[in-house]
Amino acid sequence: MRPTDRLALMLGAGMALSGIVVAAPGAEIRRLSLDEAIRLGLERNPAVAAARADLSAAEAGRREAETGRWPRLSAEAGWRQTDNQVLAFSDKLTAAEFTADDFLLDNLNHPEAQGHAAAAVGLEVPIDVSGRLTAGIAARRAAAEAARARLRAAEVDLATRVTEMYFGVSVADGAAGVAAAALDDARHHEEVAAARVAAGAALSSDLQRARVERLARERDLGRREADRDIARARLRTALALPPGESVEPASPLADPDGPLPPFDRFVTGPGGARPEIEAAHRQAEAAAAAARAARSSLRPETLATARYERNSDSWDAGSGSYTVGVALRWNAFDRGRAARIDEAAARAAAVAAQSRAVEDGARLEVEVAWRDVETADRSLSLAREAVAAAQEARRIDAERYAAGMLRLADLLDTETALVAARFDELGALYDAVVGRTRLRRAAGLLEVSR
């Protein structure tokens, strides 16, 4: 039997054993492939939902900044009745209903109460001479792209974690299967030792040694079963499933497809393909644009204005007027302006340095991930050789023990070595498979199907 076949049998036995434990009354079990589990996690995971909300907020900020280029139209209307000398005089004047009698001193000092209606529309068109609007829009656009990149980072992070936990369930099942098989062997040896002691063919110490082995295997199986339940709980949490639901892997933990590609294939050019690097670059662009916007406060804002107003003492009479012009707005004395400019420049420099640090860290992570996979592949090959050697040693020792040529303690030591080798094989296979996902994640090559 090939090593991969033996490992598949162990994994299958562990999954079958776990099905008995997990299928509690009333529990809902979802049997999902890895891709289905990842898609479910993308739909339900709160960290991804938070990243989506952050992107929505950033997009709204970008749209709000872009509206700064648009003209601003205002409208106002009102009515009043007054005998205030100044208001009565100005209302008649703006309504173009002033007469010579209104200049009489008595009429000026004691005007009759009169009604006045006014309506106006105004238009302001920003002229971005200072560059403040352009810089503000650039900052918001870069911030939105950074949020989009952070969303992609959250998605691939989740896909990596789900892959780890998904195959972690398979490994926990397989480990429980190995532990259960080892316990069966220990029980068999205890029965044989008891029979031999009863027949006077063995010492009672053999029975006690077998009993110690059986108790150790029972403790180990208990730990492995707990690990199996914890592995499912972790996967359930990553998928944001309620406590009453559980996921059973439908995709087997199989050997990687082909050998590990050379390291150069995972080294990308400047900037890399990782969403974290893109987010850092976009954040640096946003900070630089914000610094430009702060410096633009040294120059005045420019507005083109237009206004039409109609005033009347009655609804069927009155007068209209218009005003057009260009306005400059500049705060000539602002004690805090220099400090704000310095603050924005310092923040831009800090974000740019952080961006470079992210690139350096990403390159290191790629190299570490590649070395980890290389080590895992080598460990898997050696672990399988160790399993084959341990199985052959167990076969020989079992025959010698049956012939009375070997002590039980020696046979139990051989079986302990075989169990340890099987556990090592499971761990090495997990590292080889999941390590490739981590490597693609580190290199920015992990694709997420939404």
* pLDDT band with cut points at 50, 70 and 90 for residue 30: confident
Whether 215 shows a pLDDT value over 80: the answer reads yes
Confidence (pLDDT) at 403: 87
**Whole-number mean pLDDT of the chain?**
88
pLDDT higher at 420 or 114: 420
pLDDT higher at 254 or 333: 254
Whether the Cβ atoms of residue 142 and residue 289 lie closer than 8 Å to each other: yes
Confidence (pLDDT) at 27: 57
Whether 126 shows a pLDDT value over 70: the answer reads yes
Q: Percent of the chain scored above 70 by pLDDT?
A: 92
Confidence (pLDDT) at 23: 42
C-alpha distance from residue 418 to each of 64, 190, 385, 396 (Å): 66, 18, 11, 13
Whether 271 shows a pLDDT value over 70: the answer reads no
Confidence (pLDDT) at 334: 81
Whether 315 shows a pLDDT value over 80: the answer reads no
- Ordered by where they begin, the domains of the chain are 3-69+139-296+340-443 (1.20.1600.10), 72-127 (no CATH)
Q: Percent of the chain scored above 90 by pLDDT?
A: 61
CA distance 159 to 31: 18
Confidence (pLDDT) at 303: 86
Confidence (pLDDT) at 353: 96
Task: Tell me which of 216-220, 328-332, 354-358 is least confident.
Answer: 328-332
Averaged pLDDT, 310-335: 81
DSSP result, 370-411: HHHHHHHHHHHHHHHHHHHHHHHHHHHHHHHHHTT-S-HHHH
Averaged pLDDT, 251-270: 84
The four Cα atoms 29, 30, 34, 39 give a dihedral, to 10 degrees, of -130
Is this prediction's pTM over 0.85?
no
Averaged pLDDT, 50-77: 94
The neighbouring-strand residues paired with 101 are none
Averaged pLDDT, 29-43: 92
